[in-house]
Amino acid sequence: MGGIGKTALAVEAAHRARAQGWFPGGTLFVDLRGYDDDPVTADQAVLALLDALGVRGQDLPPTAERQHDLYRRLLAERRERMLLILDNASDPSQYVPLLPGADHHRVLITSRDRPHALSVRLIDLETLDPAESVTLVTRALHDTDERDKRPEREPDALRELADLCGHLPLALQIAAGMLRVRKPRDVASLVTEIRKAGDPTVVLDNGSPGTDLYGRSLVLRPVLETSYRRLAPEQARLLRLLCLAPETETGAETVAALADFELEPALSLLEELATTHLVMPVRSPAGTTFAVRWRVHDLVRAFGASVVAGNAELRKEGEAARERVLAFYYLWANAADDRLRWLPGMAEPQRFGDRAEALGWFDGERAGLVAAVGWARGEQFASMAVQLSDCLVEYLYWRRYFDDLSAIAEAAREGAHHAGDGVAEARAWDHRGIALRETGRVEESIEAHTQARDLLQAVGHFHEAIAWDNLGNALQSAGRAEESIEAHTQARDLFRSAGHHHFEAKAWNNLGNALHNAGRTEESIDTYTHVLNLHQVSGDRHSEAITWNNLGSTLREAGRIEEAIEAYGKSLEIREEFDDWYGRARTLSNLARAHKAAHQPNEARSAYLQSAAAFIRANAPTEAAYAQSHADSLT
């Protein structure tokens, strides 16, 4: 990629190699200016190389052909190994005629393009990692003034600045130059300026301090523009659209939807773009459904988005692309959500064979899906993005991504409100309430569910019952047991009257929890027993596992330890069928408490250790530490 530091690396490597005595014959360097409007040709470059070898004026052969012959002969006659650096090449025609005929010399070529037709060793450069980026800016400031303490004084702002620069060496170098000029100001002021502008290239180019050590202008946009202008029309279109995608990494299927292509043509174009280093293939984590995704650097995204924003036709093209992506995401997310919610007796979802496959798709696309729901804040995409948000709630709750759940709920709420869709707005309030409760913001959760209930009561919608049930859960978390019982009872009765027996069973289960919290133990046990029958009739195995766990806890507190241990065992047996590590961990912790109450310390310690391991897998480190400490206390 342009600005990645190819020239700096090549020159530094050459200096170190010379210091090691690798090239006693010397080093030759030519800037081929491959991405300028007037690139250096091989015939022009050979004149500079001959001049460096001492051939000039009257000694120069009259024709280009003879000049190349002389150049190769001189290199062949030099027995001491030389290094030739051909910098900034855009096409093999610039450098192939300059390759020495003698095989004992070495050549280092830098380019933004990958020459697949030639048998050469390729070294792809990536951006710096965050720590290296911070070090680069820190050293640049300290080299000028070792008394500059801003890096030590503002570590967080410096890390954020490095992130905004996309960890691209050229951008970091420009930022360091700006900080040198703006010495009285802190690092945070530059961060604020870049964030306010939205496009880092605008701020960095406007404040660029001049040229680098090689006499080149320190500017970002021209670097990106030259790479963009060289693209074929279809490649340029795909790059522009990729810059409008919800996330920096995008699956090939989503790219195909974005560009309105079939999958194979989209893959071919992506592979062509990858040779220009404007797009990079990235292997997804093990276990996700689609193995390869495609990444666009943040600064390229900002550049591409600005190109689109500046042209009415391109804006129209971009809006159509985003509509296609939302349609694609909704189609697949709705199918994946159907699979997660599927129960025996329902029609089999077609697109995903089992829960694991649906979860794998969600895992791979999560960042893009959440970002796409954020488009609901714009009036044009509000309706479809709000629909998409409904498809993500079950998955995000299952994986315990409550920050994401809160983000999509807020975006959907805003979009639905602007669109005047009261039911969708109420559902978004309800989803936000769930996220708030799970993150400990209980009073806000009660307010959100109350808002949802009131909106749905006003229109007489079925989801009023769901809002009542969720409100009951929030009231339980606040310790308001009697109010919680009333809320769950209301939800249960509404579900029953509407004939929604699956939801009625869930409300019964939550009512059992509320009765337990109110100290009404026998009523709670009777309620859970009734709920188990409902779940077994409907075939809702996961809800049955939850109810067995809840029943076990009530039996344990009632002193019926053996029955509690049996109930926890049935819950764990069913949980084995699901990828529910958090629920499994909670049941194991409860089982450990039951074994401890039964004076079975070895069994209790084993259950706590298993619980800690399951909490780790569920990304719940606080709970894992708690379980581990209890296990340690039993050694």
Q: Give the tens place of pLDDT for each residue, 280-299.
A: 888 765 444 456 889 998 88
Among 201, 196, 203, CA closest to 298: 201
Whether residue 594 has pLDDT greater than 60: yes
**pLDDT for the residue 282:** 85
Whether residue 213 has pLDDT greater than 80: no
Instruction: Give the residue extent of every domain in the chain.
Output: 6-111, 130-221
Write down the H helix ranges in 374-441. Answer: 382-399, 402-419, 422-438
Contact present, 246 and 84 (Cβ < 8 Å): no
Least confident of 70-74, 150-154, 534-538: 534-538
- Distance CA(495)–CA(512), nearest Å, equals 16
**pLDDT for the residue 347:** 85
The full length of the chain comes to 635
**pLDDT for the residue 475:** 96
Question: What stretch of H or E contains 90?
Answer: none
pTM of the model: 0.80
Integer angstrom CA distances of residue 461 from 10, 423, 453, 464, 590: 67, 8, 10, 6, 38
Residue 230: CA atoms inside 13 Å, Cβ hemisphere, count?
A: 23
**pLDDT for the residue 197:** 86
Range 96-123 average pLDDT: 87
Contact present, 330 and 322 (Cβ < 8 Å): no
How distant is the alpha carbon of residue 247 from its chain centre?
Answer: 7
Helix 312-341 crosses helix 252-259 at what angle (to 10 degrees)? Answer: 140
Report which of residues 209 and 91 the model is more confident about: 91
Whether residue 402 has pLDDT greater than 50: yes
- Distance CA(390)–CA(382), nearest Å, equals 13
Write down the H helix ranges in 56-168. Answer: 64-77, 92-95, 130-144, 150-153, 155-164
**pLDDT for the residue 579:** 79
Q: Take residue 109 and report the two structure tokens written for it.
A: 């070529």
Least confident of 210-224, 309-323, 464-478, 513-527: 210-224
**pLDDT for the residue 287:** 46
Contact present, 131 and 155 (Cβ < 8 Å): no
Amino acid identity, position 569: G
Q: Take residue 187 and report the two structure tokens written for it.
A: 């690092």
Contact present, 191 and 164 (Cβ < 8 Å): yes
Q: Give tens-digit pLDDT for 64-79.
A: 999 999 999 999 998 8
Whether residue 261 has pLDDT greater than 80: yes
Q: What is the dihedral of CA 386, 388, 391, 395, to 10 degrees?
A: -100
Other CB atoms within a 10 A radius of the CB of residue 523 amount to 17
* Residues contacting 444, CB < 8 A, separation 6+: 433, 436
**pLDDT for the residue 208:** 67
Q: Give tens-digit pLDDT for 306-364.
A: 999 989 999 999 999 999 999 999 999 999 999 998 887 788 888 898 888 999 999 98
- Among residues of the chain, what percentage have pLDDT more than 70? 97
Q: Give tens-digit pLDDT for 413-458.
A: 999 998 889 999 999 999 999 999 999 999 999 999 999 999 999 8
Contact present, 435 and 393 (Cβ < 8 Å): no
Strands 106-111 and 292-295, by their bridges, are unpaired
Give the chain's end-to-end CA distance (angstroms, integer). 56
Question: 6-111 in CATH: which number?
Answer: 3.40.50.300
Whether residue 209 has pLDDT greater than 70: no
Q: Could you give the 3-state DSSP secondary structure of residue 345?
A: coil
Helix 298-309 crosses helix 312-341 at what angle (to 10 degrees)? Answer: 120
**pLDDT for the residue 619:** 84
Ramachandran sector of residue 277 (left: φ over 0; alpha: ψ -120 to 50; beta: rest): left
**pLDDT for the residue 288:** 47
